[in-house]
Amino acid sequence: MPYTHTTWTQLQTQLSLRLFDAANIFWTATEVEIWLTEALRTFGLCAGFWRERGSLATSANTAFYDLPTNLTNGAELILAYSVTDQDIIEELEYALLESAASQSTWGGTQMFTYNDLANAVQNRLNQFLSDTGIVVNRSVINVASPSIGRQSLNQDTIDVRRAAWIGAPPENYYVNLWREDERTLTAADQTWSVNSGTPEEYSIMAPPPLELQLAPPPVSSGQLELLTVDSTALDPANGATILGIPDDLTPAIKWGALSDLLGNDGIARDPIRAQFAEERYGQYVQLARMLPVVVHAEINGVPLIPSTLQEADGLSPTWQNVIANVRNPVSEVLLCSANLIGLTAVPDTAYSVVCDVVRRTPIPAGGGSNVQLGREQLDMILDYAEHLALFKVGGAEWHATDKQANNFIMQSLTYNRRLSAAALAAFSASMQSQRQKTEVIRRDETGVALGALKGSQ
> Across residues 228-243, what is the average pLDDT?
95
Is the predicted pLDDT of residue 27 greater than 50, yes or no? yes
Distance CA 155, CA 153 (A): 6
As beta bridge partners, residue 212 has 151
The whole-chain average pLDDT of the chain stands at 91
Secondary structure (3-state) at 426: coil
As beta bridge partners, residue 142 has 223
The answer to whether the CB of 326 falls within 8 A of the CB of 349 is no
Distances, alpha carbon 302 to alpha carbons 72, 78, 261, 330, 355, in Å = 19, 22, 51, 11, 11
Tell me whether residue 378 is exposed, middle or buried, using C-beta atoms within 10 angstroms of its C-beta: 0 to 12, 13 to 18, 19 or more: middle
Distance CA 12, CA 35 (A): 10
Distance CA 162, CA 5 (A): 48
Helices and strands (H, E) in the chain, number of each type: 13, 17
Question: 347 CB contacts (<8 Å, ≥6 apart)?
Answer: 58, 59, 60, 61, 62, 63, 324, 330
Tell me whether residue 53 is exposed, middle or buried, using C-beta atoms within 10 angstroms of its C-beta: 0 to 12, 13 to 18, 19 or more: middle
Backbone angles phi, psi at 293, to 5 degrees: -125, -80
pTM: 0.93
Tell me whether residue 369 is exposed, middle or buried, using C-beta atoms within 10 angstroms of its C-beta: 0 to 12, 13 to 18, 19 or more: middle
* Residue with more model confidence, 308 or 452: 308
The answer to whether the CB of 206 falls within 8 A of the CB of 214 is no
Share above pLDDT 70 across residues of the chain, in percent, rounded to a whole number: 94
**Residues 352, 356, 359, 364: what is their CA dihedral angle, to the nearest 10 degrees?**
90
Distances, alpha carbon 106 to alpha carbons 99, 102, 420, 434, in Å = 8, 7, 47, 41
Q: What is the pLDDT of residue 457?
A: 45
> Across residues 122-133, what is the average pLDDT?
97
Confidence class for position 426, pLDDT limits 50, 70, 90? very low
Is the predicted pLDDT of residue 420 greater than 80, yes or no? no
Secondary structure (3-state) at 219: coil
The answer to whether the CB of 165 falls within 8 A of the CB of 215 is no
Confidence class for position 78, pLDDT limits 50, 70, 90? very high
pLDDT, tens only, 178-195: 999 999 999 999 999 999
> Across residues 190-219, what is the average pLDDT?
93
> Across residues 376-404, what is the average pLDDT?
94
Confidence class for position 61, pLDDT limits 50, 70, 90? very high
Is the predicted pLDDT of residue 337 greater than 80, yes or no? yes
Q: What is the pLDDT of residue 147?
A: 73
Share above pLDDT 90 across residues of the chain, in percent, rounded to a whole number: 78
Region at 300 (left for phi over 0; alpha for psi -120 to 50; beta for the rest): left
The answer to whether the CB of 263 falls within 8 A of the CB of 274 is yes
Is the predicted pLDDT of residue 438 greater than 90, yes or no? no
3-state secondary structure 227-268: EEEECCCCCHHHCCCECCCCHHHCHHHHHHHHHHHHHCCCCC
pLDDT, tens only, 356-365: 999 999 999 9
Q: What is the pLDDT of residue 387?
A: 96
Q: Tell me whether strands 157-167 and 222-230 are parallel, antiparallel or unpaired.
A: antiparallel
Distance CA 317, CA 309 (A): 10
**Of 23-27, 99-103, 258-262, 343-347, where does mean pLDDT reach its minimum?**
99-103
pLDDT, tens only, 300-335: 999 999 999 999 999 999 999 999 998 999 999 999
Is the predicted pLDDT of residue 455 greater than 60, yes or no? no
Domain ranges of the chain: 1-50+362-441, 82-135+244-292, 137-230, 294-358
Helix crossing, 29-47 with 271-289: angle to 10°? 40
Q: What is the pLDDT of residue 413?
A: 85
Confidence class for position 148, pLDDT limits 50, 70, 90? confident
The answer to whether the CB of 89 falls within 8 A of the CB of 236 is yes
Confidence class for position 424, pLDDT limits 50, 70, 90? low
* Residue with more model confidence, 87 or 456: 87
Q: What is the pLDDT of residue 445?
A: 67
Helix crossing, 8-18 with 29-47: angle to 10°? 100
Which one, of 88, 82, 85, 52, lies nearest residue 69 by Cα?
A: 82
- 442: amino acid identity, one letter: R
Reported as type and span, the H/E element at residue 297 is strand 294-299
Is the predicted pLDDT of residue 123 greater than 70, yes or no? yes
Backbone angles phi, psi at 363, to 5 degrees: -85, 130
